[in-house]
A and B are shown apart, each in its own frame.
Chain A
């Protein structure tokens, strides 16, 4: 059961006009997995999520949820989906209770089970005392909670949350995190976010999407291992030698002088010349006063993969959704 595939996405493509919003996206999500979906605005995150939930149709490719194809048997597939879009889908003239009862019935909960399901999802989202309040009078954070409550009310196998923590304060974010960890025990969760630390603390697996294509799909563990391996260091010297001297050190592939007297030294793949450089600096009295190992945090991976060089591009075309 542990490795059962709950979401299977195969070669998904979607066009807006002649532009590919997403192109040839494939991945699987297993039961118990929390997948973090990262990408700059307009990269295709929301589009992918909406296609998985059946809100949009794909131009090519297939999605199956808990074994049911979303196009061939949408009814069965959608019973297993809980979806929170970017903007929580709320009727602001209903009370929280009325809304959740309606959402629960829409999702196919039986009449006798509905009261219990509403209570449970309210409890999980911290809405116990808000049942009779009108949704339009709620704060943004509470609206977001109601949005999450409707997504989990029918206890779906697959929970898809588009930026679930936007608009929440840090305490609420922590509560939501705990909720998601609790949910992930026997569900699959996909969540998209801009907040990288959230992915690091919450997800088992990270996927970065850029310009409609998946550019990274790794488990948190793999990422951790990668960051232990370094392929360059940055050093600062009081008496820097000529660059050629550095190149003579075994294992150094290239060296370049950065701004503020910082030297970036790239290693030949699979070697680590850090020690040799430090030794040389000591014997030659270069005056080594700073040494930064490669910064391989998720943030720098994200920057590299999405912007190429680590600097955001000038004003690009905004979200087309």
Chain B
């Protein structure tokens, strides 16, 4: 377990040494702040009387945050394994007494911590509303958990794709493609038969997230994200292991 923290710690340290981490934090914060302001001013219009503050502003903001993070996420995850290959440091890791599972878990943990940091930063905005009014904290918690689970699955998918390629840019584009596809896949099923539509909509990352955002805490939605993360982590471990034998 120590090795997992060691890998994660080094990953985060190097992330924050580069401007990338700071630029991503700033960009996400800025974009989400614009939406937060727009949602808040919309709520202040007399026309929206009778709607809930939490539902319109907070959930709305979290929903947009999911999309914003989806777009920057490939840039964060692209270098996870590709850069170790480029620098040759993967040989340092492989010749050290740590297992591939520990390596992959450490990388995943580092990304998850970074996403939680992004979420903590953007959550400061709705938290500021607490000074003037009351919010449905239960719904916020449910949405936040949804966002954590969602971003963790971004991390796992990005990690896997990073382990497949040699070039960071290839990893970034592919990750973006896959994440975007999984996001909108439920639309693909709208004109198909009922079963197909159900399958597509079940696979959509968005669908499960929306439930949680609305305060519907359903264990199947939570399990869906945990399953996606575990699945891609396992694939990464297999992929790296196979590379030692065949690559």
Contacts and interface: CB of A to CB of B under 8 A. Distances in A.
Nearest to A94: B14
A54 B87 contact: no
B87 A92 contact: yes
A103 B87 CA distance: 14
Interface stretch (B33-41, B95-103, B112-120, B211-219): B95-103
Interface in A33-88: 50, 53-57, 59, 74-76, 78-79, 81, 83, 85, 87-88
Contacts of A57: 244-245
B87 A102 contact: no
Given A107-B96, A108-B97, A85 B91 contact: yes
Interface string A204-245: 000000000000000000000000000000000000000000
User: Is the interface on chain A under 10, 10 to 19, 20 to 34, or 35 or more residues?
Assistant: 20 to 34
A167 interface: no
A106 B91 contact: no
Contacts of B247: 56
Contacts of A53: 91, 94-95
Contacts, number: 72
Contacts of B10: 91, 102
A150 interface: yes
B14 A93 contact: yes
A90 interface: yes
A310 interface: no
B98 A89 contact: no
Given A57-B245, A150-B92, A91 B14 contact: yes
Given A57-B244, A93-B18, A76 B88 contact: no
A20 interface: no
Contacts of A98: 13
Given A55-B244, A93-B14, A102-B6, A74 B99 contact: yes
Interface of A: 50, 53-57, 59, 74-76, 78-79, 81, 83, 85, 87-94, 98, 102-103, 105-108, 150
6 closest pairs, A vs B, by CB?
Answer: A89-B92, A53-B95, A83-B95, A78-B97, A106-B96, A87-B88
Given A56-B245, A75-B97, A93-B17, 12 more contacts: A50-B91, A55-B94, A74-B99, A76-B97, A83-B95, A88-B88, A89-B89, A89-B90, A91-B14, A94-B14, A103-B92, A106-B6
Interface of B: 3, 6, 10, 13-14, 17-18, 87-99, 244-245, 247
9 contacts: A53-B94, A55-B94, A56-B244, A83-B92, A90-B89, A91-B14, A94-B14, A94-B17, A98-B13
